[in-house]
Amino acid sequence: MESYAETDGFDMSEYSPHPAIEYIWDNAPAYAKAKGDLAHLEAFKSSLKAILMKKSGESAVTAQEREAYAHPDYENLCNAIGAATEKAELLKWRLTSAQLRFDAWRTEQASNRQIEKLTK
């Protein structure tokens, strides 16, 4: 399905709202999954830090924390959070764009009805 995020050459008079509505319907599950994945990764971040601090073998809390932050597993988790955030935001803005197209169509239809009333 074409992306409804692009507006180059967009002509509202030839626009049907149905593809935008279908796009939202079809992509809502992917957005929900992306948001769920992001929430899961964010929640796991504290747990991983605690696990890595415990495994560090250091006695001082600041040294444990330093070791946890420097661990490759923590870096991988941070990268995964970044990727999950990017995916969720991309889906969010594409869905928002489709919603805005529908809203613009609805507004134009209301305006056209008003013009028709005034010109009759």
Rg of the chain taking only CA atoms, in angstroms? 24
Q: How many CB atoms lie within 10 A of CB 95?
A: 19
Per residue in 77-120, pLDDT (tens digit) is: 999 999 999 999 999 999 999 999 899 999 999 999 999 999 88
Name the H helices within the chain.
18-55, 61-70, 72-119
C-alpha dihedral sign at 94, 23, 43, 67: negative
Per residue in 4-58, pLDDT (tens digit) is: 445 555 555 677 888 889 999 999 999 999 999 999 999 999 999 999 999 999 9
